[in-house]
Amino acid sequence: MRAFLLLVLLVPLTAKAGEVPPGFVYLRDIDASIAQDMRYASDDNFVGRPLPGYGAPECILRRDVAQALAKVQADLAPRRLSLKVYDCYRPRRAVAAMARWANDGARGEPTKRFFPALEKRTLFGQGYIASQSAHSTGSAVDLTLIALPAATQSPYDKAAPYGPCTGPAAQRAPDNSLDMGTGYDCFDGMSSTFASNITAEQNRARNALNDAMRKHGFKSYFREWWHFSFGKAGTGYDVPITGR
């Protein structure tokens, strides 16, 4: 923990607009056609509020990762499909905030819909939340597929009684993506990439995403259908995300 704190102290606590870690880029500057729905810059996430370091709803990645995503997007276009990213580079302070939330001992969590069958205190041990993340290196990305032309996505309402992430898509929080069987950041066995308890159509959607990503060098995480990594993880950063 002491080493982690020292590392945090060595990186900027603030950032100028457009400042990114070395070798990183804004995804919009590589491929503006990739949709962005940056959940940790909003209230629509398992913590229930914007996370530290997310000063703007922007996807930032290592340049090689962003360029690989652009190749995936190009392959999807003839099929009238598009990528939609939920999270990209994640500052270390946000990773630490997730860990604190998971271990704060609070019960009756208003974001229970993200882990309907589990206790919050078990999420860390089960591998859904970690003290370190490849996202902080800019080599990991959380994403899904949307059909084109993209359907309008209703605004998120923090006061609305949305159903669990494992429930029918129409009852979950608003998302204009293909139905993958669960919502994003659904901490449940149904989120496993090759889960057997989803419909044939949901399974085809997952396979379409997985195949498109693997073709261009991305590796999936078996526990989360939405999580992919590219190349070696490299150095993690705590530079906050700002607007372009």
Q: What is the CATH number of the domain that holds 44?
A: 3.30.1380.10
Segment 48-66 shows an average pLDDT of 98
Report the alpha-carbon distance of residue 173 to residue 60 in Å, rounded: 24
Statement: residue 208 has pLDDT above 70:
yes
Residue 244 lies in a domain: no
Residue 151 lies in a domain: yes
User: Per DSSP, what are the bridge partners of residue 147?
Assistant: 81
pLDDT of 3: 38
Residue 119's domain spans which residues?
20-230
pLDDT of 8: 39
pTM here is: 0.92
Residue 51 lies in a domain: yes
Residue 14 lies in a domain: no
Report the alpha-carbon distance of residue 216 to residue 67 in Å, rounded: 10
Segment 167-194 shows an average pLDDT of 97
Report the alpha-carbon distance of residue 44 to residue 50 in Å, rounded: 8
What is the phi/psi pair of residue 119, to 5°? -85, 140
- Residues 192 and 210: beta-carbon distance below 8 Å: no
Residue 3 lies in a domain: no
Segment 30-43 shows an average pLDDT of 98
pLDDT of 237: 98
Statement: residue 195 has pLDDT above 80:
yes
The mean predicted confidence, pLDDT, of the chain is: 93
Residue 15 lies in a domain: no
Residue 44 lies in a domain: yes
pLDDT of 15: 66
- DSSP-based three-state secondary structure for 26: strand
Residue 137 lies in a domain: yes
Statement: residue 62 has pLDDT above 90:
yes
118: left (phi over 0), alpha (psi -120 to 50) or beta: beta
pLDDT of 105: 85
Segment 163-176 shows an average pLDDT of 97
Segment 18-35 shows an average pLDDT of 96
Lowest mean pLDDT among 6-10, 39-43, 75-79, 188-192: 6-10
- Residues 26 and 244: beta-carbon distance below 8 Å: yes
- DSSP-based three-state secondary structure for 215: helix
pLDDT of 5: 36
Report the alpha-carbon distance of residue 136 to residue 133 in Å, rounded: 6
Report the alpha-carbon distance of residue 169 to residue 166 in Å, rounded: 8
- DSSP-based three-state secondary structure for 24: strand
Domain count along the chain: 1
Segment 91-113 shows an average pLDDT of 92
